[in-house]
Amino acid sequence: MPPTRTATARRTLHTPSQGASTPGRTRLQVRRARLARPTDEDRSSTPRRVSVPRSAAAAHMHDLCALETQRMQAKQEQERSIQEERLQRARTVDEQLMEERRVAKENRPPPSSWHTYQDYEMKLLCAEYEQTVSQLRAELEDRDTELARLRLAADQHHQAESQLTTSVHEWKTRVAQLEEQLHSRDDRTHELRREADEARALVRNLEMRLIDADALRRRLHNQVQELRGNVRVYARIRPSLQDGAVAEWHFPDAAMLATQMEVRVPTESATGTASVKTHAFTFDHVFPPASTQADVFAEVADLLQSVLDGYHTTIFAYGQTGSGKTHTLEGGAGIDWDHQHAGMNDDPNVGLIPRAMHMLWRVAEAQRIHGWSYTFEASMVEVYLDQVSDLLGDEPGKGKGRAHGKDKCEIKHLPTHTHIEHAVVAPMTRPNDVYALLAQAKKRRQVAATLMNERSSRSHSVFALRSRC
C-alpha cells in the first residue's frame, strides 16, 4: 500500500548502505514470479495425452486433436509474446524508477538544511501575517483614496452650495421683478379688456351700420336699375363680313350716351332717281362694330349685382341667324371648351356667361368677410320645335320621355317662380366649372348649316344660374 511504500522509501532514504532490497526491486521480483508461475488457464490449456480405444471415429478424433494442439500452440506463442512485452515494460518502469531515485538523491538537500515541523508552521504563519499586512495596507490605501475623493466631493458640494445660494438670491430678485411686471401686466390686461369690450361694441355698432348700409346700397342700387329701366334694349352691331356693304352705319351720339343709331340705305325710285334713305333707331345703348366682349359685359355688370341682392335678372339675346347671339353670350368660335386652362379667363372672346360667373364668384368671396355665404347651381336647356330638352343630362338615347335624343323637360309656373322639371341642376364649386357645362351643352345642341352661317344654332338655349345665400 502507499503508506508502506512511503515508509520503506524513507527507511531506504535514511539507510542507503543496508543490503536489504528496495521497494522497486521487491515489486520487480513479485512481477517476475507471477509471470514465471503458470496460471490455472495455462494448466487447463496444456494438452494431455489421453488413451482412448480406437474405433470407427478414431481418425476423426485424431484430426480434431491435431487441430486443437495447433491452436493451443499458437495461443501459447501469443501468451509468451505478451509475457515478454510485460517483462519489457516492467524493466522500463524499473529503469525509470531507478533514474528518479538517482535524481532525487542528487537533488536531496543536506541534513543540516532540514527543518522541523515547528519551523514549517512558523514559516506558514509568517507568510499569512505578511499577506494580512499586505491586504490591510491595500485597504488602507483604498480608504485614503476614498477619503481624498470624498473630501474633493465635499469641496465641490460646498462650492455648488455657494453657487446655488447665489443663484437662489438672483432668482428671488428675478421673481420679485416678475411679480412687479405681472402686476403691471394685470393692470394693462384690465385696460386691454376694457378696450376690447369697447372695440367689440364698436364692431357690433359698425356691423349694424354695415347691415343698414348694405340694405341701403341694395335699395339704392335697385332704384337706380329701375330708373334706368327694368327692361333695357341694347343693340350690338356685328362687323360686316364683306367689303363694300350697301348700308352705312352712323352713330350720332357715340361720344356721349351712345343710344342712337342711323342706317343709311341707298334706294332708287320708280323713275330711276337715286336717293339715300335714313332709318334712325334709339336704344338704351348701342355697341358699334368695334366694341369688345368686355365693353358689352361692363354695361350689364350692374344687373348681375342684383342677382346677389336677391332679384331675378334675365339677359336675353335675340336677332337673325348669324347676328352673333351665341358669340355674345357664350364666346367666340375659336375657344377650345374641351381644354380648360387658367388663361381662358383673360381670353377677349369669352362671352357674357363665363364673365358673369367669374364676377359673381369674386363678389361672393368678397362678401364672406361680412358673414355672407353663397352657393351657385346651374342648368341649361334648349327649346326646339316647341320641346324643352335638357342639355346637361346623360348620354343621348331614344326612349320614353326623350326628345331628339335628350331628356324632355316640362315648364311649371309656380306662385313664386317658374320651374323646369327634369332638368339637371349642376353645383358650381369653382367659376371655371362653367366652361365644362358650356362644352357639354355645345355638343348636344341642334345645329345646321344656313346661307348665312355654316353651323347655325337651330334652337333657343337657356342658361339658368341660381344663387343661394
Which residues of the chain have a pLDDT value below 50? 1-21, 40-47, 50-52, 397-401, 451
301 three-class SS: helix
- The CB density around residue 393, as the number of other CB atoms within 10 Å, is 20
3-state secondary structure of 403: strand
Binding residues for ATP: 319-326
> What pLDDT is stored for residue 395 in this prediction?
58
pLDDT at residue number 3? 41
The β-bridge relationship of strands 387-390 and 406-413 is antiparallel
The answer to whether the CB of 379 falls within 8 A of the CB of 424 is yes
The cell numbers describing 429, all together, are: 364649386
pLDDT of residue 295: 92
What are the pLDDT digits (tens) for 431-466? Answer: 888 888 888 888 887 665 554 555 556 678 899 999
129 torsion bin: left (phi>0), alpha (psi -120 to 50), beta (else): alpha
Binding site feature residues: 319-326
Class of domain 292-398+405-468: alpha beta
Q: Is 249 exposed, middle or buried (0-12, 13-18, 19+ CB in 10 A)?
A: middle
Three cell numbers written together for 332: 367666340
Phi (first) and psi of residue 286, to 5 degrees? -120, 130
